[in-house]
Chain A
Amino acid sequence: MAKTEFWTGSEKYLCDMELAQAFHMARVLGMPLLIEGEPGTGKTELPIQYAADQNLELFVYATGSKSNVEQFVARFDHVKYLRDSQIEILNAQREEKGLETRMSTGDRDPENLADYVAKGPAARAYSTPHSVLLIDEIDKAPREFPNDLLYALSHRKFIMPESEEVIEVSEEEMPVIIITSNREQELPAAFKGRCIYHYIQFPEPEIMRDIVSKHYPSIETKIVDVALDIFYQFRKLGLERAPTTRELLNWLKYVKTFTTKKAIAKIQKLEGIGALIKTQTDLERIQKMVLKNEADYNRRSGPN
């Protein structure tokens, strides 16, 4: 069940009210929270900031195309085990012949199978009471991964391979589990069924203003006004890759190094726009639009 106090964010992190409610609900019900949403909306930030704010230990499993449940929970290192037992034989043979031993098994003892169990983030999180477990970008994983995970998550108990050591956690001390996805592939329905689901909506301008001030407390409001205006216009264009919070923050980081007047001029001239626009086609489209606007403007203001 983890810690069940309602948490709405910290000084550095503004937790959207709906997300905070979903997060609270997931903790109370002892279920994983699955967060989906556009990239750059702070999905991964939630567990990181929560753990930092509440002083809890955080375990992260970054999913990739080679992810499997063994890496996530625990795996028995057969290779090392075989190697060590071979070395023991070799060493015994050499000793018999009165030769000094050349290879060692380190601190590992082939008699003790637990020495060969490599624990993954899940096993470690489950052995730490009240920890936070983040499974990041699960949509990057092979398709069988979420289904394998289902079994692991629906129990509060792991049995380590070979050594048969049992890692068990009570419902009260269970880690908070947060799973993020960028929706690059559909997750299996059964998997989603075991999670509390939350889709992060793109922040409204007012909320975005708060987010900006959390990151750059000293930034001039005027700069933010102008930048947000352009930012939300871009998002309405239906670009191939619409700019997100992260990109806005990067852009502001660049322009805020100038004086207010200069910064606003830079924003209006779309300088440093590479921070916002990430594909060539989008960039061309915007440049074309700006040129067209300028041409219109010149035509209108020119002599008739």
Chain B
Amino acid sequence: MFSTLPQKFREYNLPTDVRTLLLLQKAMDRNLIKTLGDMFSVLKGIVVKDPKMIGPFTRAYYDYFLNIDIQNGDRLSDAIARSETFRQWRDDNLDRFGDDILVGDLVDKFLDDVHLTTYDIKKIIDGKQIWDNDNGNKEDQDDQGSDEVSKSHLDKMADYSDLSLEELLERMKEVMDQQKSRHSGGSHWIGTGGTSPYGHGGAAKDGIRVGGTGGGKMARKVLNDRKFFPVDMDSILNDNNVDAALAALKGIVEETAHEKLDIPQTINQGLKRGGLFLPEMKSITDEKLQVLLLIDNGGYSMDAHIRPVRALFNKMKTRFAHDLETYYFHNTIYDYIYEDAHRSKYMPIERLLEKNPDYRVFIIGDASMAAYELNRTSRETYHAITEQFKKVVWLNPEPKRYWHHTFSIQVIKELVDMYELTPRGIEKAVREMNRKK
């Protein structure tokens, strides 16, 4: 019945497909979904696979189920307050609240309703039992009266939670059909169809507060919090996406550890035992990750990028690459390189080329310079570097779409594999590095 759900959620870059629907169906079959709030938490468990997806998920959910469109930078309460769904809900529930209720409070109530889960209802029912026990011995007439009122109300809630799946689906379908005829499309659950268990009377009226509807609180918190929205994998490395880039870099460590039969040792020992060959094992140690980092820190065009680059590789060093050496150059590499950022300690390129070919080399620079600067010495140096080290990549902070405007980039790109200095670019570079043996 939610056949359009994957399509809508995909618009928000959430990986949903028919399997999502099957799981959802399974959850319904097992009675996990009885309210709209349940739908929110179950779908969240199925769809969200990363904290960065919680933000888009919340928006997609409000869009699909409630027809509430939350714009970028919008606050949830504002988006709700101006929505048609909310207006309708308010009209349907007018008798529940007085006229003097503030819009803000009303939105809170709406959120409580939307995110009311079976667990919340259960909590209330449990609470009712305690309450009943407390009042059991009292003969007071007034107490008796209020007891009845809340009981009938709570029974309704209980009834709702015991609704069979067929009934629930039937009701949901009803609402959907109604909505379709009333205004084009949309898949509201809240409306005149009376799907909401809270439509009659409402919990708040009886003084039992719906306990902590976490979903609403969370939905509100999530929006506009950068933590819950995806980082732009295609934006040039900056302070915000350093961690995403680090995750991409992490892919560089090829860890495999296993035990292997040590044949020479087995033979030696076996001969000593007079032909009794007992297998001797040796464990294969991890591949050591060695990195050379060559950074262009000359020229103001690179200034903005140096800090995030250093932050990235510093993190890399503390996390997983223990052998990381950094060198600097200005615009392009000739037959020397600098050992310090101020470019005062000079080192002939031969010394660099003497290093173990297992080093992975990252060159970071915009590769933009006057044609005469990229002379033969420089071109030969790049050639020598790629010859000595098997795994060399160039990361360029210049957006790729401008590369073909710059002659020097064109030339260097032919000599060294070049990628954008973005988390995605780094990911590609690492994948390419791993492919080369």
| Inter-chain contact A68/B258, CB cutoff 8 Å | yes
Q: Number of A interface residues, CB 8 Å?
A: 35
Interface of A is mostly: helix
Question: How many whole Å from A152's CB to the nearest CB in chain B?
Answer: 18
Contacts of B218 in A (CB 8 A): 18, 201
Q: Is A291 an interface residue (CB 8 A)?
A: no
Q: Once bound together, how far apart are the Cα atoms of A173 and B95, in whole Å?
A: 49
Interface of chain B residues 205 through 237 with chain A (CB within 8 A): 212, 214, 218
Contacts of A144 in B (CB 8 A): 256
Stretch at the interface among A77-85, A111-119, A121-129, A244-252: A77-85
Q: Is B257 an interface residue (CB 8 A)?
A: yes
| Inter-chain contact A25/B32, CB cutoff 8 Å | yes
Known: A26-B45, A196-B46, A199-B54. A82 touches B257 (CB 8 A): no
| Inter-chain contact A192/B281, CB cutoff 8 Å | no
Interface of chain A residues 18 through 48 with chain B (CB within 8 A): 18, 20-22, 24-26, 28-29, 36
Interface of chain B residues 249 through 307 with chain A (CB within 8 A): 250-251, 255-258, 276-279, 281, 286
| Inter-chain contact B32/A193, CB cutoff 8 Å | no
Chain A 187-230 per-residue mask, 1 if CB under 8 angstroms from chain B, else 0: 00100110011110100000000000000000000000000000
Contacts of A86 in B (CB 8 A): 276-278
Known: A29-B23, A29-B27, A29-B32. A18 touches B257 (CB 8 A): no
Q: Is B106 an interface residue (CB 8 A)?
A: no
Interface of chain B residues 168 through 226 with chain A (CB within 8 A): 212, 214, 218
Chain B 236-251 per-residue mask, 1 if CB under 8 angstroms from chain A, else 0: 0000000000010011
User: What is the chain A residue whose CB lies nearest that of B122?
Assistant: A6
| Inter-chain contact A65/B255, CB cutoff 8 Å | yes
Contacts of B15 in A (CB 8 A): 189, 193
| Inter-chain contact A28/B30, CB cutoff 8 Å | yes
Known: A65-B255, A82-B278, A142-B255. A21 touches B41 (CB 8 A): yes
| Inter-chain contact B257/A83, CB cutoff 8 Å | no
Contacts of A28 in B (CB 8 A): 27, 30, 32
Q: Once bound together, how far apart are the Cα atoms of A196 and B49, in whole Å?
A: 8
Q: Once bound together, how far apart are the Cα atoms of A69 and B369, in whole Å?
A: 52
Contacts of B51 in A (CB 8 A): 36, 199
Q: Name B's A-contacting residues (CB within 8 A).
A: 15, 19, 23, 26-27, 30, 32, 41-42, 45-46, 48-51, 54, 117, 119, 122, 212, 214, 218, 247, 250-251, 255-258, 276-279, 281, 286, 319
Contact sample, A vs B, 7 pairs, CB 8 Å cutoff? A22-B41, A29-B26, A65-B286, A78-B279, A83-B279, A189-B15, A199-B50
